[in-house]
Amino acid sequence: MDLMEKIVSLCKRRGFVYPGSEIYGGLSNTWDFGPFGLALRKNIKALWWREFVEKEENILGLDGGIILSPRVWEASGHVENFTDPLVECKSCHTRFRADQLGDTKKCPDCGGQLSEPRRFNGMFRTTVGATEDSNAVVYLRPETAQAIFINFKNIVDSFHPKLPFGIAQIGKAFRNEITAGNFIFRDIEFEQHELEYFLPEAIWEEKYDYWLAKMHDFAKLIGLAPEMVHEREHSPQERSHYSKKTVDLEFDFPFGRKELWGLAYRTDYDLRNHSEKSGVDLKYEGSFPHVIEPSMGVDRTMLAVLCSAYFEDEKRVVLKLQPSLAPYKVAVFPLVANKEELVGKARGIYEKLKKSFMTAWDDRGNIGKRYLSQDEIGTPWCVTVDYQTLEDDTVTIRDRNTTRQERIKVANLETWIKERLV
Ligand code: GAP
């Protein structure tokens, strides 16, 4: 099994990620997140919010809609430009992105003849209301950003922030990708953390560098090795229609070096267009603010975190997750499950720790198996209540990465964990 297969298998087995609609044979490129996947994503998103919103000055949050007026996507340029060149095999009817195939005119799957490329819009369309005529067509958002631009006036009217300031959002986005794949790397339904940072044009370069550095810092914080994260600037042909400069942070995934996150300088493109098309004046402090946009997918972040954390040797499989991201921070075990005093004491510690941390309880099988089980889901510390605990009120605490154990006072447990919870 290669590394990706091992990660996919662990994610399924241990309740991180399940294939979408599985009991009906699956629906390609859709995924459901189990209890630990949900916890990991929640922790990633909370850390992002902490770093990009709460620790910054002048960043406000928003939770905009997924279904926006189709006029939003006309004004933003997505109806016209959010397209990829699609070719279809005339024999097996598999579809490919022409720009990813090179010069070949033959189907990579069956050798059949490929059609001429046509522009394929990646937005999901649906209809609102009881009629299905073209007036009822709406799109699921392909980026969270537009909800921010169309609420710009609402936010400034409520808060009167001074430039520069930002509006941040975490939420679902949908893209009808022609070629999705590589597990949760490219899906059709995913989540983004996005920040639209509004500023006077004169300071865009300085702030661009600031947010780029911040993205590198975030990569370190979630446990990605700096030597596996690389900057790549888009060529003018490759840039999105709204961008004047885009730098991707790429990551060395097991299937190659690929885009992890992007940082775009969107100029005043969005506010200017929404202003023109809606007729609502979106100038602020005398002109259209310019925008720097760090855009970071939750799913790709989760995958990079899992790839970085996965470790195995002949004895065990371990997710060396940063403690702040781990679903459980600590697990509590009685040494044996059939000694009432041990179980009672351990339950007491578990109940107490649970109030401060996500805490697991396990009294099945033997201690060795319980350690291995917690290692696989990335629990940083395991506390065992043994006979000595009953004498001197100390427990052993085992470190996931080193497997070393130390004895500490029960009274010090909470502080001990808090001090190490980064
Ligand atoms: N608002 C700008 C924007 O959406 P993007 O480069 O198209 O820019 C930003 O997307 C980020 O969203 C990407 O760097 C990636 O992390 C994530 N992303 C984009 N498409 C994705 C997909 N199909 N599946 C998973 N994540 C995706």
Kindly state whether residues 160 and 69 are assigned to the same domain. Answer: yes
Give the single-character DSSP code of 285: T
CB-neighbour burial class of residue 72 (10 A; exposed 0-12, middle 13-18, buried 19+): buried
Closest-lying ligand 1 atom to the alpha carbon of residue 142: 4
Do the domain assignments include residue 246?
yes
Q: Whose CA is nearest to atom 13 of ligand 1?
A: 261
Q: Whose CA is nearest to atom 25 of ligand 1?
A: 186
pLDDT of the residue at 129: 86
Do the domain assignments include residue 193?
yes
Kindly state whether residues 175 and 106 are assigned to the same domain. Answer: no
Kindly state whether residues 71 and 95 are assigned to the same domain. Answer: no
Quick one: how far is CA 100 from the chain centroid? 25
Kindly state whether residues 355 and 221 are assigned to the same domain. Answer: no
Kindly state whether residues 214 and 336 are assigned to the same domain. Answer: no
Do the domain assignments include residue 318?
no
Q: Give the percent of the chain with pLDDT over 70.
A: 100
Please provide the DSSP assignment of 113-176 as one string: BBPPPEEEE-SPEEE-SS--SGGGEEEE-SSSHHHHHHTHHHHHHHH-PPSSEEEEEEEEEE--
pLDDT in tens, 57-90: 999 999 999 999 999 999 999 999 999 899 999 9
Place of tokens 């996947």: 37
pLDDT in tens, 305-339: 999 999 999 999 999 999 999 999 999 999 999 99
Do the domain assignments include residue 319?
no
Do the domain assignments include residue 314?
no
Yes or no: say if 332 and 353 are a contact pair by the CB < 8 Å rule: yes
Residue 249: give its domain's CATH number. 3.30.930.10
Of the residues 97, 121, 145, the one at which a domain ends: 121
**Distance of CA 409 from the midpoint of ligand 1 (Å):** 47
For the chain, the distance separating the N- and C-terminal CA atoms, rounded to the nearest angstrom, is: 32
Token pair of 38, please?
A: 């949900």
Tell me if the bond preceding 164 is cis, omega within 30° of 0: yes
Kindly state whether residues 163 and 42 are assigned to the same domain. Answer: yes
Q: How confident is the model at residue 25 (pLDDT cuts 50, 70, 90)?
A: very high
Domain count, the chain: 3
Q: Which residues line ligand 1 (CB under 6 A)?
A: 143, 145, 175, 177, 186-187, 190, 192, 194, 259, 261-262, 293, 295-297, 299-300
What type of residue sits at position 254?
A: P
Q: How confident is the model at residue 11 (pLDDT cuts 50, 70, 90)?
A: very high
pLDDT of the residue at 420: 95
Distance CA 24, CA 16 (A): 20
Closest-lying ligand 1 atom to the alpha carbon of residue 261: 14
What type of residue sits at position 141?
A: R
Name the pairing type of β-strands 229-233 and 189-199: unpaired
Q: Give the structural domain span for 364.
A: 330-420
**Distance of CA 131 from the midpoint of ligand 1 (Å):** 32
Kindly state whether residues 292 and 159 are assigned to the same domain. Answer: yes
Kindly state whether residues 114 and 135 are assigned to the same domain. Answer: no
**Distance of CA 121 from the midpoint of ligand 1 (Å):** 15
Q: Whose CA is nearest to atom 22 of ligand 1?
A: 186
Kindly state whether residues 246 and 139 are assigned to the same domain. Answer: yes
Do the domain assignments include residue 324?
no
Q: Give the percent of the chain with pLDDT over 90.
A: 93
Distance CA 24, CA 99 (A): 33
Of the residues 121, 151, 173, the one at which a domain ends: 121
Kindly state whether residues 278 and 183 are assigned to the same domain. Answer: yes
**Between vectors from CA 47 to CA 143 and to CA 36, what angle results, nearest 5°?**
85
Of the residues 257, 274, 308, the one at which a domain ends: 308
User: How much is the mean pLDDT over the chain?
Assistant: 96
**Mean of pLDDT values over 349-368:** 97
Q: Whose CA is nearest to atom 17 of ligand 1?
A: 297
pLDDT of the residue at 181: 83
Q: Whose CA is nearest to atom 2 of ligand 1?
A: 295
Kindly state whether residues 66 and 103 are assigned to the same domain. Answer: no
Give the single-character DSSP code of 22: G
Yes or no: say if 15 and 33 are a contact pair by the CB < 8 Å rule: no
Name the pairing type of β-strands 359-361 and 330-334: parallel
Residue 406: give its domain's CATH number. 3.40.50.800
Do the domain assignments include residue 392?
yes
Do the domain assignments include residue 316?
no
Contacts with 317 (C-beta within 8 Å, 6 or more apart), sequence order: 6, 10, 310, 311, 372, 375, 376
